[in-house]
Amino acid sequence: MAQENRPPIESGCPDGFQYMHPVMRKNYGAWDYHEHPRPGVLLHVAHNGDQIWTVRAGTQRILDVYTLRTLCDIGDKYADGYVRFTIRSNIEYMVSDEAKVQPLIDALEADGFVVGGTKNSVAMISHTQGWLHCDIPGTDASGVVKAMMDELIDEFRENNMPNRVHITTSCCQINCGGQGDIAINVQHTKPPKINHDLVSNVCERPSVVARCPVAAIRPAQVNGKPSLEVDEKKCICCGACFPPCPPMQINDAEHSKLAIWVGGNHSNARGKPTFQKLVAAGIPNNPPRWPEATAIVKRILRAYKEDARDWERINDWVERVGWPRFFELTELPFTKFHIDNWRGARRSLNSSTHIRF
């Protein structure tokens, strides 16, 4: 039992310098410029002329130890033993010798990893856990992404887009995947189904009432038991009540759909950061390969690639050509659901004569 009482060492966030390539350690804060010799490869040059070459590769993200060791073997044999991971879960190998770059790329590709994801490519899709591990997911995450990246792999490997494209997926409206140029998120379309036998034992009812964004939940006696009821006319089917109260099941095999949003952009480059906007919904949540969602994503990408100018992210492009043109080019329907009615929605309405013909 003594072992169980071992007090933790509260060391917190470790120092990254101990794991950093020596050339990067030496030139910390002293970089001059970078070049992009080919997709998936970056060259950074320090003021003193030192060079560091980075090779970026996409993986399956959920790594088994065998795959992790394969990545390490490649790092030891073809690189300098130093790696890092990007925010989108790509692995990066850093080497100080240009001669190592091509053999490293060859080794990664030979083992099935995909070199790319830099600059104006479709980057790796950022995603979360889904059915594999989450307690509230409306869909899977890794599966959706695997199926979609199978179809977008050439766009990951090449630099054919006007600017970079960040795609995200999320399995509920908490939206762990975050904002993206294109976001594929679960959108429930029916109110929760309540198991009234369990509510009073499992849920802290006042907290559940407080979670609802539209005050649609109220305490009630159902079949003689304390429970909760939902005003289904007010309910927006967001699922916020489900995490604190699992008997309020929001996920539905038929009615939990996917929606696609575009134009989320975190960068301050050119314009200020932007939130993503709804463009398509009612898309079936269709495992194992979700072909309907992928088809719409590819349609949006095609229109963007053909119509946007160099350096325009999707939000920049739509801002220039206007939403009517977006719906025309993508052949997606514009519906009453596209017109916002949440707080602050009037700011999204056109109060001008600025109309494109």
Partner 1 sequence: MADQHHDTPMLDELENGPWPSFISGIKRLRDKHEDQRISGMANDLLGQLEHSYETRKGYWKGGTVSVFGYGSGIIPRFSEVGSSFPESKEFHTLRVQPPAGNYYTTDMLRQLGDSWEKWGSGLVTFHGQTGNIMFIGTSTDNTQHFFDEINEYGWDLGGAGPCVRTGMSCVGAARCEMSNIDEMKIHRTLLNNFTDDVHRPALPYKFKFKVSGCGNDCMNSIERSDFAIIGTWRDDMKVDQEEVKKFVARKGREYVIDNVVTRCPTKALSLKDDDTMDVDNRNCVRCMHCMNVMVKALSPGDDKGATILIGGKRTLKIGDLMGTVVVPFMKLESEDDYEKLTEMAEETIDFWAENGLEHERCGEMVERIGLVNFLEGVGIDVDPNMVNDPRQSSYVRMDGWDEEAEKWFNRKAEEKAAS
Secondary structure letter of residue 263 according to DSSP: -
- Counting beta carbons within 10 angstroms of the beta carbon of residue 5, is it exposed (0 to 12), middle (13 to 18) or buried (19 or more)? exposed
User: Considering the complex, what minimum distance in angstroms separates the CB of residue 224 from partner 1?
Assistant: 26
CA distances to 167, 191, 196, 306, 317 from 310, rounded to whole Å, are 19, 44, 56, 11, 10
Nearest to partner 1 of 215, 333 (CB atom): 215
> Phi/psi of residue 267, each to 5°?
-75, 155
User: Considering the complex, what minimum distance in angstroms separates the CB of residue 72 from partner 1?
Assistant: 4
CA dihedral 52, 55, 60, 62 (to 10 degrees): -10
Nearest to partner 1 of 288, 333 (CB atom): 288
User: Considering the complex, what minimum distance in angstroms separates the CB of residue 12 from partner 1?
Assistant: 4
Count of C-beta atoms within a 10 Å radius of residue 39? 18
Nearest to partner 1 of 226, 246 (CB atom): 246
User: Considering the complex, what minimum distance in angstroms separates the CB of residue 6 from partner 1?
Assistant: 5
User: Considering the complex, what minimum distance in angstroms separates the CB of residue 355 from partner 1?
Assistant: 23
**CA 315 – CA 162 distance, rounded (Å):** 12
User: Considering the complex, what minimum distance in angstroms separates the CB of residue 333 from partner 1?
Assistant: 24
Structure tokens at 222: 């159902």
Place of tokens 């001008």: 352
Count of C-beta atoms within a 10 Å radius of residue 255? 15
Q: Confirm if 119 and 39 have CB atoms less than 8 A apart.
A: yes
Nearest to partner 1 of 46, 303 (CB atom): 46
Place of tokens 């304390």: 226
* Pairing, β 167-170 against β 182-188: parallel
User: Considering the complex, what minimum distance in angstroms separates the CB of residue 207 from partner 1?
Assistant: 7
**CA 314 – CA 264 distance, rounded (Å):** 8
Nearest to partner 1 of 15, 306 (CB atom): 15
Nearest to partner 1 of 65, 99 (CB atom): 65
